[in-house]
Structure 1
Amino acid sequence: MRIAQVAPLFECVPPKLYGGTERVVSYLTEELVRQGHEVTLFASGDSETSARLVPGCRRALWQEAGCLETLPHHVRLVEMVAAEAHRFDLIHFHIDYVHFPVVGRLPCPTVTTLHGRLHPPDQEGLFETCSEVPLVSISDDQRRPIPSANWQATVHHGLPLDLHTFRDAPGSYLAFLGRVSPEKGLDRAIEIARRAGMPLRVAARIYPEERPYYERVIEPLLRASPWVEFVGEVGGAAKDDFLGNAHALLFPIEWDEPFGLVMIESMACGTPVIAFRRGSVPEVMVHGVTGFVVEDVAEAEEALGRVPTLSRWACRRTFVERFGAARMAMDYLAVYRRLVGGGSRPIARGAGRAFIAEPLAPIRRHGRLLGPVAAVQSPGGA
């Protein structure tokens, strides 16, 4: 199948450090290429991919000091995609809504994955006006505010099975990974660690617009909390070590996060997650297996006392069964093929899921202990 993937231009694909959407686009693109599909990636020029790369800008916009407005770059990107649309069987957009007005004049089907939170006052009218645009949600909870939109499927994110290293021995610190913003709950993570009497390591990015919050709320907490170490952004091997060597990951969000990629990254390492019951958390987590879903700081403190009862192998195994990149690609391919074939009826969740063979056994690849993995039956190229 000839597939175009259209990524945001904010970060390169994959991002060097923080950047969830661009990271997912990379995993999906590389898996589709691996399965034999002809893939073109529209992304920033500093992206790295085994697909054909069409640069929408010279380098990631958030890395360009002279970039004041990102919208013009994305409008230009849409025109670049439209100019090449005749080359593809399907175009998969990951750039929110900027392309909606041109979808009707493209010569091939499209699908759009929405990666952000929905706010009906802003988006409901758009979805009604552009009701012909097929949409994919990244969790069932994400679509809850606007259930009447043209949802085709829910496809949970997935990671390459060998991306993270399984570690069967728990570490001695708690981990927090994400942005420094009120909805991510770093202040609550600091309080949970204080109550539990455990050190907390924080790997976080501070966006310019969130620096006032950091300086007003978080920086004083850090000065008053000697048990907290702020390590800044991490990526690659450093993130693998950071998550894999933790006792548990804290995910005390205070917003309805549509997915939360860090949860499955932690599971891939075998590290349990203590997560607040918001947004997609109950969909992604298996309570009592991959960690604990809790309501507040007090419950999080109590749950940390039960972390030693969890199996890190079972945590890794759940990741393998549910959140591999091959499963994600298979779910998307089911959507692609239906749309290319002229179908318009949404498919049921779980249709086309990858088959996971039993038993699951630990293996090593390039000297890295991966934990339980299995043969994944992947669809062939089309």
Structure 2
Amino acid sequence: MKIAQVAPLYESVPPKAYGATERVVSALTEQLVAWGHDVTLFAAGDSKTQARLRATHPVGLWRDERVWDTTSHHLRQLDAVVRRSAQFDLVHFHGEPFHLPLQRYMSCPSLTTVHGRLLVPDHGPLYGAYPDAPLVSISDSQRKDTPHANWIGTVHHGLPLDAMRFSPNGGDYLLFVGRMMPEKGIERAVEIARRAGLPLKIAAAVHPGERAWFREEIYPMLEASQSFVEYLGEVGGETRLELFSHARALMFPIGWEEPFGLVLIEAMASGTPAIAFRRGAVPEIVEHGVTGFIVDDVEQAVRAVQKLGTIRRNDCRRSFERRFSAERMTRDYLAIYRTLLADPARGGEEWAPGDPMQA
């Protein structure tokens, strides 16, 4: 099958540190290539892939200090995709929805995985205007505000089996990894660590839109908590692997409807359980009492820290391998691709996980 994968240009594929969407696109792309498919990846020029790379900007936009208007770069990328669409059996979009007005005029079917949170005032009218756009959600929870969009499947994220480093023994610290933004609950993570009497390591990126909030509200809190909080900034490579594999638990005290939460399965792959708030896709990912604990508030989270000894790290790893591998994710997408190609006008009946699938 000739497939185009279109990644957002904010980060390289895979990302050097933070970048959940780009990490997933990389896992999918490389697995498709390994299984013999002819894949073209439209992504930033500093991406690393076995696929054919088509770049419209030399580096990830968030790594280029000259870039201010990211929209203009994504529009150039879209033009490159549309002009080459006759070369593919299918184009799989993962980024901004700029392509929706043009999908009807492309020379092959297209599919869009929606990676972000959906909001009724914004995305309701958007998908209402393009009812023929085939969409894939990354969790069932993600769909709840736009249930009438043209959903043709849900595919949970997956990662290569060797993406993380498994450790059978946890360390003596709690871990917070992700993007530094209000919805992620960094203040709650600090409070939980303080009350549980454990150190907290924070590896988090601060993007331009959150810099003022971080400087004025979060940095002073971190400075005042230096006795038990270590802020590492944005972390990648070997350091990131070590942080995950030796943490006692990943803290995921979100305050919004997170559509997935890739760090949850990265922790799982490392053998590290998660303590996660019951929001968004968390109940679809974390198996309560098996791969972590699902809690409703700070008090429950503190109690969950005391129960971490009941979680077996081998069970976390086994759950990752069974539910969240790149192979499983890629099989799921291939089934959807074939369904869509059989009926490009609609995508046929909605595919559901568990159907017979062959690579």
The reply to whether TM is greater than 0.5 is yes
Where do 1:288-303 residues align within 5 Å? 288-303=289-304
CA distance in 1, matches of 2:116, 2:177: 18
CA distance in 2, matches of 1:340, 1:179: 37
Where do 1:1-382 residues align within 5 Å? 1-225=1-225, 226-342=227-343, 343-352=347-356, 379-380=358-359
CA distance in 1, matches of 2:60, 2:180: 21
The DSSP-based 3-state class of the residue aligned with 1:56 is: coil
**Residue identity matched to 2:125:** G
Aligned residues: 355
Q: 1:215 offset after TM fit, Å?
A: 2.0
State the identity %.
Answer: 53
Q: 1:339 offset after TM fit, Å?
A: 0.8
Structure 1 stretch displaced more, 338-347 or 80-89: 338-347
**Residue identity matched to 1:239:** R
**Unmatched tracts of structure 1, length 5 or more:** 354-378
| CA deviations over 1:276-320 (Å, ceiling 9, x no partner) | 000000001100000000000000000111100110000110000
CA distance in 2, matches of 1:276, 1:261: 15
CA distance in 1, matches of 2:306, 2:150: 44
The DSSP-based 3-state class of the residue aligned with 1:274 is: strand
CA distance in 1, matches of 2:308, 2:65: 44
Q: 1:161 offset after TM fit, Å?
A: 0.5
The DSSP-based 3-state class of the residue aligned with 1:57 is: coil
Question: Contact 2:7–2:93 (CA<8 Å) still a contact in 1?
Answer: yes
**Residue identity matched to 1:56:** T
TM-score between the two structures when normalised by the length of structure 1: 0.91
| CA deviations over 1:90-115 (Å, ceiling 9, x no partner) | 00001231000110011211100000
Q: 1:349 offset after TM fit, Å?
A: 3.2
What RMSD in Å do the two structures reach over aligned CA positions? 1.0
Question: Contact 2:174–2:250 (CA<8 Å) still a contact in 1?
Answer: yes
CA distance in 1, matches of 2:127, 2:341: 22
**Residue identity matched to 2:52:** R
Question: Contact 2:31–2:327 (CA<8 Å) still a contact in 1?
Answer: yes
Question: Contact 2:12–2:47 (CA<8 Å) still a contact in 1?
Answer: yes
Q: 1:127 offset after TM fit, Å?
A: 0.7
| CA deviations over 1:219-267 (Å, ceiling 9, x no partner) | 2211221100001111122111001000111000000000000000000
